[in-house]
A = this chain, B = another copy of it.
Amino acid sequence: MSRVSGGERSRTVIAQGTFDVLHPGHVHYLEEAASMGDELIVIVARKTNVDHKQAPICPANQRREVVDALEAVDQAILGHESDIFAPIERIDPDVIALGHDQHHDPAAIEAELDARGIQCAVERASAREPADEDELLSTRLIIDRILERRG
């Protein structure tokens, strides 16, 4: 793991998600995750990792590239095809930051980390406060609006 100036060990944070159509809720999540440490690595879900909602519209590498271009993000990588914990084991982070609306159970994640000998904190990011009443703060809402206006 890298060292920051002064010789102290830097804190690596992992965030993860699908990031199909980027919106300010994603930006808020990733900026808050970045603030939990010194380096933010984002694991972008492959289509095969997404089993709790419809398959993403944009290809995995396209979603990864856009996330990687964000100022808050040091590195964006694609998830493992089948074992979502594989990249976490390899990166050995200090913190895993969950999005405010992600369905994961922190206790189940902690148990799996424990079983694999990964010592890290599991934190949940806050929800973004809507700034305007017409905001579309989820990919689903954006897609619904597209279907309503153009379908």
CA distance A76 to B5 in the complex (A): 32
Per-residue CB contact flags for chain A residues 66-90 toward chain B (1 = under 8 Å, else 0) read 1001111000000000000000000
Contact B136 A66 (CB under 8 A): no
Check A119 for interface membership: any CB of B closer than 8 A. no
Given A70-B70, A71-B69, A146-B147, answer yes or no on A22-B24 (Cβ-Cβ < 8 Å).
no
| Cα distance, A66 to B150, chains bound together (Å) | 23
Q: Which positions 13-51 of chain A face chain B at CB distance < 8 Å?
A: 21-24, 27, 31
Tell whether, in the assembled complex, residue B22 and residue A59 are in contact, meaning their CB atoms are under 8 Å apart.
Answer: no
User: How many Å lie between the Cα of A59 and that of B149 in the bound state?
Assistant: 14
Contact across chains for A59 and B135 when beta carbons are under 8 A apart: yes
